[in-house]
Structure 1
Amino acid sequence: MFRRCNAIAVAIFMVLAPLFAPAFVKPADAADSLTVFAAASLKETLGQIADDWTKDTGKPVKLSFAASSALARQIDEGAPADVFISADLNWMDHLEKGGQLVDNSRVNLLGNRIVLVEAANAAVTTQIKPGFDLAGLLGTGRLAMGNVASVPAGIYGKAALTSLGVWDSVKAKIAQADNVRAALLLVSRQEAPFGIVYETDAKVDPGVKIVDRFPQDSHPAIIYPAAVVKTSKNPDAKAFLAYLQSQKAAEIFTKAGFTVLGKTQ
């Protein structure tokens, strides 16, 4: 009797199991998604452009945002990126010299500005010029910046403060962050009275306002290069890079405050 019941149970299971088993779906992220590594300051704009790409082509995009330095090092270590967009030339140069980019795929995509920001409810005003009293404005507070040795926004910020003759007076008051958005957050949360971020970052956070722009000649030109990563196996990588240079993408970048440098189609 036991064997008979067991056999019946097995038979019932074989009939019903397919009805309850989950249907197998090919994981899109594993096989089809285009993976884009991009500077943290591109989060909102690139997210919108990626959504448009998916609507236009039906193909998904996986976005990974961080400091350009961190992303370049991940690519060095074999991270599966198809396209890389850096917030400065140096980290793209680093990958190019290491043979990590597809030949002739590199393009200077965007330009930006760096600004001094404070909390939205603050009332300090100042003009950024040689010798301006940033240390006095900070008082006992900290100046939020990206890491001045590796994060592009931090490197640009230090260069600007140095050329304006105020770096030595504030270098002991710097709160260094892993990326520019983390520096922005310190000001937005009022954990630091001032910060140096990209102008486009300041526009997306209602918790901050711009005190003043840094003179463009006080630091190297801010250029965002983009390229296809050599290890990419995704046939859409070059097409997505071209899409980033389209008129449709240019309108999104321009609205966000970027300067479009690449060609538009």
Structure 2
Amino acid sequence: MKPTRRIAIITAGAWMLACPSALAADRPVTVFAAASLKNALDEVGVAYAARTGGAARFSYAGSPAIARQIEQGAPADICISADSDWMDYLAGKALIVPSSRRNLLTNRLALIAPADAKVSLKVTRGMPLAKALGGGRLAVAGPDVPAGRYAKASLTSLGVWNSVSGKLAQAENVRAALQFVARGESPYGIVYDTDAKAEPRVKIVGLFPEASHPRIVYPAALVAGGRNPRAAAFLKFLSGPEARAVFRKHGFVVLARR
């Protein structure tokens, strides 16, 4: 190897060791997000790459799962939860950057059935959901998952919970509950409106009254241990016009920027 070539390699190596942030900037921004955001966020990631040349990669799961993964040191740059409680959990452990936190979206809760099912049930107080289930089970997200808690709150408010609480098919996240119904394994399920719209094998029987459950909100924040300098820019992009248009396209209600 020629001396000049050796010097150039050594110099480049020394620069990379001295400037780890330059290496971090070349890595995709890692986003841990609620499973119900998958379709929309995948499209937002494509828009972000086209606009900036940067990349984002996404890890989807139920909100409790992503919060616990971050707590255990998983390498996330941004967290997007499906409720405030799990973001509060991370904040209480100093695992997010408080000043970066913002509420991005809201959603509706839907009762669904297989697309080819004949149903006459209406989402009302005292609806005969238990009778409609017959020998089947109601697909819902687990009790620690926001969609599962919203579902229980709605059913309780409508006076139906006690009649169906022993007939649940609980899933690890809302997308898994959606698949129970899509595959015909459950005659009914409760998921987000946006999930139902993304799956052609199910149909929406009705929407739950918004007053019957705590407000559905998707907060986002920088993870305190994140080291990618592009994370703040991607978080800002999530509130920008291109991302907002994608979220609306997928049925989310975009919250006003503050």
- Structure 2 residue corresponding to 1:237, chosen from 231, 236, 250: 231
CA distance in 1, matches of 2:197, 2:82: 17
Structure 2 contact 77–223 (Cα < 8 Å) conserved: yes
Residue correspondence of structure 1 range 45-124 to structure 2 within 5 A: 45-124=40-119
Which amino acid in 2 is paired with 1:188? A
1:262 to partner: Cα distance: 4.2
Q: Deviations over 1:89-146 (max 9, x none)?
A: 1000000111111131000000000100000001102221111110011011000000
User: Could you tell me the percent identity over the aligned residues?
Assistant: 52
TM-score (norm 1): 0.87
Name the counterpart of 2:183.
189
Which amino acid in 1 is paired with 2:123? I
State yes or no: 1:33 paired with 2:18.
no
Q: Deviations over 1:217-240 (max 9, x none)?
A: 000000000000000111111111
Distance 1:262 1:229, change over 3 A: farther
CA distance in 1, matches of 2:98, 2:209: 34
State yes or no: 1:226 paired with 2:216.
no
Unaligned runs of 5+ in 1: 1-27
Which amino acid in 1 is paired with 2:37? L
1:31 to partner: Cα distance: 5.7
1:30 to partner: Cα distance: 10
- Aligned-residue CA RMSD in angstroms? 1.4
Residue correspondence of structure 1 range 122-137 to structure 2 within 5 A: 122-137=117-132
Q: What secondary structure does 1:59 align onto?
A: coil
Q: What secondary structure does 1:93 align onto?
A: helix
Aligned length: 236
Name the counterpart of 2:197.
203
Q: Deviations over 1:2-45 (max 9, x none)?
A: xxxxxxxxxxxxxxxxxxxxxxxxxx999611100000000010
CA distance in 2, matches of 1:52, 1:245: 13
Which amino acid in 1 is paired with 2:226? S
Which amino acid in 1 is paired with 2:238? L
Which amino acid in 1 is paired with 2:245? E
Residue correspondence of structure 1 range 123-162 to structure 2 within 5 A: 123-148=118-143, 150-162=144-156
CA distance in 2, matches of 1:118, 1:242: 37
CA distance in 2, matches of 1:29, 1:152: 32
Q: Deviations over 1:145-196 (max 9, x none)?
A: 0002x11100100010011111010011000000000000000000000000
CA distance in 2, matches of 1:155, 1:97: 21
The structure having more radius of gyration, on CA atoms, is 1
Name the counterpart of 2:171.
177
Following superposition, which runs of at least 4 residues in structure 1 exceed 2 angstroms of deviation? 28-31
Q: What secondary structure does 2:124 align onto?
A: coil
Distance 1:247 1:123, change over 3 A: same
TM-score (norm 2): 0.89
CA distance in 2, matches of 1:221, 1:156: 9
